[in-house]
Structure 1
Amino acid sequence: MPLCNNSSCDIAVAVALLFTGALYICFSSRLISDPIADLQRSVNNQRRTKFPVDELEAALDRAAAGNNKTVIIAMVNKAYVEDVGVERTMMDLFLESFWQGEGTLPLLDHLLMVAADQTAYDRCRYRRLHCYKMETDGVDLEGEKVYMSKDFIEMMWRRTRLLLDVLRRGYHIIFTDTDVMWLRNPFSRLSNNGSLDIQISVDGGHAINTGFYHVRSNNRTINLFQKWYDMRLTSKGMKEQDVLKKLLHSGYFDQLGLAVGFLKTTFFSGFCEDSTDMGAVTTVHANCCVHIPAKISDLTLVLRDWKSYKASHVNTKWSPHVNCRRSWKDTHYTPKH
C-alpha cells in the first residue's frame, strides 16, 4: 500500500523543496559579502569591545558617572601643583574658578585630573579629586615645561596619546588646560545633540587652540586623533597644536566627514583676544603667555575682575595682562625644578 497518493506526495515534495530553498537563501546570504553591512557590523563590534577595568577605566567611569559618558580632563605636573614663588599654584587657581564660577562647582564631580608625576598625583588625591597617574615610560615630565621647549612638546604629545586612549574607550571629552578659568558652565554654550564631532577654542578667527575643546567619541574622531598622534613622527620640533592646524588646512577633517565648531572668543576668551562681554564669557585662557608665574599673576587678576563683576553686574574691561606680555621678553627666566 502506497504511503501517499500522487497529489499528497506532490504537496509534500513541494513543501520540502520550499523549506530547503529557504534554508539555502538564509545561509548563503550570510556568506555573500555586503561591504556596507560588514562595515556596520565592524563598527558595532568595536563599540561593544570591552576594555580591561584598569586604573584609567576605573577613573573615567567614576568621573563620567551621571554625565552621559562625558568627562572633563585636565593635566598637571609638579610645576602646576607646587608654589613657584607667587604664593598660589596653578592648580589652586584652576579649582578656585570652579568655586567662583556660575554653575561650575558641580562639574568638579566630572573632572579627571591626569598627573604626569607622583607629586602631582599625591596633591590631586589630597584635594579629593578624581585622579589618574599617566604612564610616562621613564620620561621626566615633572618640572615646568616652558612653551615650545623640547620637553613641552613631548608633554603635549603624551597628552594627545592619552586622549586618544580615552576616545577609544567610548568616552566623550572636554579637555581643558589648567590655565583656563571656568567662570560659567560651558555645557550651555556647547552643542550636545551630537551634530558636531569637535568644538574647539580659537586664538582669534579660526586659529585653533587646543587648550579647550569638546570632542565626541566616534570613528571619525578616533581616526583623527590616531592620524594626529602618528604625525608626531614626521613633525619634529612642531607642537601638537600646529600639527592639528596642518591637518585642518590640508582638508583631512573634510575627508573624515568631521563636523567642527569653532568656539567664539566672546564666550571662550583668552589673553590673545579678550571677550568684551563679562555677561557672556564662559572661560578665560591664559594663552599668549610663556611661563607659569606670569600666568598665575594675570589669572589672579582675572578672578578678581570676575568677583567684581558678580558683585556689581557692571561690564568692564579686564585688567591688562602685563606679566604675560612681558613674559615673551623674559629671556633670563629659569623654570623651577
Structure 2
Amino acid sequence: MLRILSAYQLSMKTQQSGEICWSKRIGFRNYILLAEDLEAYKILRAANEPVFISKEQSLNTSSKSEAKYGSYAFQITMMYRLEFLMRVLRAGFHFLSADMDTLWLSNPFNYISHDLSITIQGQTHKQTKMSGGFIIIHATSKGRKLWQDVIKCQNQNLVDLREQQHLKRKRPTSDFTEQECINNRLNTTKMNLLDPYLFPDGRSFFDLHRPQSRGIVPVVIHGNWLVGLEAKIKRLRSWNLLASTGSSCDPLENGIPYSLSKRSNPVRIRIRILTYNRLQSLQRLFESLQAANYLNDSVALDISVDRPSSEAGSSEKEQWKQVMEYVGDGETHPSKF
C-alpha cells in the first residue's frame, strides 16, 4: 500500500475556508498540517489536528501576515515547506503536498499512479507546466535527488530576491519561485501530469467551467488563480463550497458540488461539416460530436460532401461512395451514424 503524507502550508486564518473539512468529508485521515507560526500551531493542536512546527518557527510568538506571492517573505515560507517535505522523504514516506486552497471532493489516491518509477506527479499549470500547489513525490533515490535539487534552486532564489536580481534582470518575481525550480528539472525526470478535468485549477473550474462542460465531477479543485485569502473565501461562499464558517465543519451534501446554470434562452448552435472521401476521419468526428455535452442547447448539424472531379481515379471515387452511403441523403437512404 502506498503511504503518503499530505503536507499543508497554513496561516492562522486559513482554517476558515474549510480545506480540512473537505478532506475529512471524504474520509481522508492520513495527513499532517504544517504551521508557520506558534499561534496557528496552538489553534490546530486545540482542535486535535495533526500539526507540525519546527523549533525555529515555534520561537516566533507573533502570527504572520499574508505574504505577497513571489515576494522574499513568501519564498521563505516555501523554503520552510520544501525542507519539511525533504524530511518526509528521508523518513521513507511518499508525500502528496497540497496548498490549503484545495477542495477535496474524492480520494485522490484512487486516481494517481502507484508506479514508483514515476518520480513526480502533479496538477497541470498553464497547460504545459506542473503546479507546485498539488504534487506527489515518491520516496525513491530519484525522488529525493529531485527534491534536493529543488531546495538548492530555492536557496539561490532567496539569494537573488534578497539582492533584487529580478530588478536587475528585468524579470518578474514569479520567475524566482519554487514552482519554477520544480518545472526546470522535469525534462530529465519521469513525470505524470494529472487529468486536468479531474484535478482542475481555479481558472479552469471557476472561470472557464471546463469540468462542468463535460459533466465531470472533479477529484480535487485547486483554488488558485486568485490572490488574497479573503477573495478566495468570498469565491467559495459564492459557489456554496465553503465547508466551514467557523471552528467546526458544516454539513455538506454528497454528489456534484455545483449545478450547471439554467438559461431561459438556450443557445442555438449550428455545426457545419465539410467532407469528401475520408470515412474513418469522419466517423471519429461524429464520435466526438456525439460524446460532447451541449448543456441542453439546440444543436443543428449540416454536412456537405464534395464530389470527385472528372480526373479522380477509381479508388478515390470508391472512397467517396463509402462516405455518401454512410452519410445518406436524408430521404430514401438513411444515415448510418
Amino acid in the other structure paired with 1:246: N
Q: Is the 8 A contact 1:200 1:212 kept in 2?
A: yes
Q: Is the 8 A contact 2:2 2:114 kept in 1?
A: no
Counterpart Cα distance in 2 of 1:314 and 1:223: 41
The answer to whether 1:134 aligns with 2:54 is yes
Residue number among 198, 207, 223 corresponding to 1:267 in the alignment = 198
Counterpart Cα distance in 2 of 1:177 and 1:301: 21
Counterpart Cα distance in 2 of 1:77 and 1:314: 28
Partner of 1:96: 21
> Which deviates more from structure 2 when the two are superposed, residues 188-197 or residues 111-120?
188-197
Secondary structure class of the residue paired with 1:178: coil
Residue number among 260, 267, 272 corresponding to 1:316 in the alignment = 260
Taking structure 1 as reference, are residues 204 and 130 closer, same or farther at Cα in structure 2, changes over 3 Å only? Answer: same
Task: State how 1:294-305 maps to structure 2 within 5 Å.
Answer: 294-304=231-241
Q: Is the 8 A contact 1:204 1:265 kept in 2?
A: no
Amino acid in the other structure paired with 2:44: C
Counterpart Cα distance in 2 of 1:178 and 1:283: 12
Amino acid in the other structure paired with 1:300: R
Q: Output one character per residue of 1:154-202: Cα deviation in whole Å (capped at 9) or x when no partner.
A: 1112111111121111111011111001011111111124242211111
Amino acid in the other structure paired with 1:200: G
Shift of 1:278: 5.4
Q: CA RMSD in A?
A: 2.8
Shift of 1:153: 1.4
> Which deviates more from structure 2 when the two are superposed, residues 197-206 or residues 212-221?
197-206
Partner of 1:117: 37
Amino acid in the other structure paired with 1:281: P
Taking structure 1 as reference, are residues 141 and 215 closer, same or farther at Cα in structure 2, changes over 3 Å only? Answer: farther
Secondary structure class of the residue paired with 1:174: strand
Gaps of 5+ in 1: 1-66, 82-88, 318-337
Counterpart Cα distance in 1 of 2:200 and 2:119: 21
Partner of 2:267: none
Shift of 1:129: 1.6
Partner of 2:302: none
Taking structure 1 as reference, are residues 301 and 284 closer, same or farther at Cα in structure 2, changes over 3 Å only? Answer: farther
Partner of 1:10: none
Q: Is the 8 A contact 2:103 2:222 kept in 1?
A: yes
Q: Is the 8 A contact 1:180 1:286 kept in 2?
A: yes
Q: Is the 8 A contact 1:201 1:265 kept in 2?
A: yes
Q: Output one character per residue of 1:282-326: Cα deviation in whole Å (capped at 9) or x when no partner.
A: 111111111100111112344549999846798626xxxxxxxxx
Gaps of 5+ in 2: 162-175, 206-210, 244-250, 262-337
Secondary structure class of the residue paired with 1:264: coil
Taking structure 1 as reference, are residues 301 and 203 closer, same or farther at Cα in structure 2, changes over 3 Å only? Answer: farther
Partner of 2:10: 76
Secondary structure class of the residue paired with 1:120: helix
Partner of 1:172: 94
Taking structure 1 as reference, are residues 302 and 207 closer, same or farther at Cα in structure 2, changes over 3 Å only? Answer: farther
Partner of 1:293: 230
- Scaled by the length of structure 1, the TM-score of the pair is 0.61
Aligned length: 231
Counterpart Cα distance in 2 of 1:117 and 1:170: 26
- Scaled by the length of structure 2, the TM-score of the pair is 0.61
Name whichever structure is richer in helix by fraction. 1
